[in-house]
Amino acid sequence: MALKEKILDVIEGPHAAAVATVAAGLPAVRFMVLTGFPDMTFVGGTMKNTHKVAELKKNSHAAISVWSGKEFTDPYVEIKAKGEVHEDLATKKRYWNPMFEQYFKTVDNPDFVVLIFSAEEITYHEPKMMGQEVWKR
């Protein structure tokens, strides 16, 4: 199986992901649901007034880790990405997911924003094989 296909097996669709941004020169990690796409972008929703939004506006570098969480031996990925904050209604409608309703109520909630992370590099880890491979944009 090609590297991109192996990565997509781990990231495609919604996943709980550890997302690290830069806060005062140090990493700050939070869990959030991100949806992975075949173009190696990751999209999630959050509130406009969160620390991660302010941090991404100051420094767009982010690190993300996604693991299936089924078995300890399952593959996982580490992602170096650039994050963007989108407040426009068109982007919010494009990525709206019904699971967001419990947090944001409606797509036109002015406090709801979309975070889009574009992967620059993805390291694929396969613990069973004790190996890793790197995909670069």
Q: How confident is the model at residue 122 (pLDDT cuts 50, 70, 90)?
A: very high
Q: What pLDDT is attached to residue 129?
A: 74
Q: What pLDDT is attached to residue 131?
A: 78
CA–CA dist 68, 55 (Å, integer): 27
Q: What pLDDT is attached to residue 123?
A: 97
Place of tokens 């994050």: 83
Q: Is the pLDDT of residue 17 over 80?
A: yes
Determine contact, residues 43/114, Cβ cutoff 8 Å. Answer: yes
Q: Of 56-60, 124-128, 129-133, where does mean pLDDT reach its minimum?
A: 129-133
Helix H or strand E encompassing 103: helix 101-104
DSSP 40: S
Q: What pLDDT is attached to residue 71?
A: 81
Domains of the chain and CATH, by start:
3-136 (2.30.110.10)
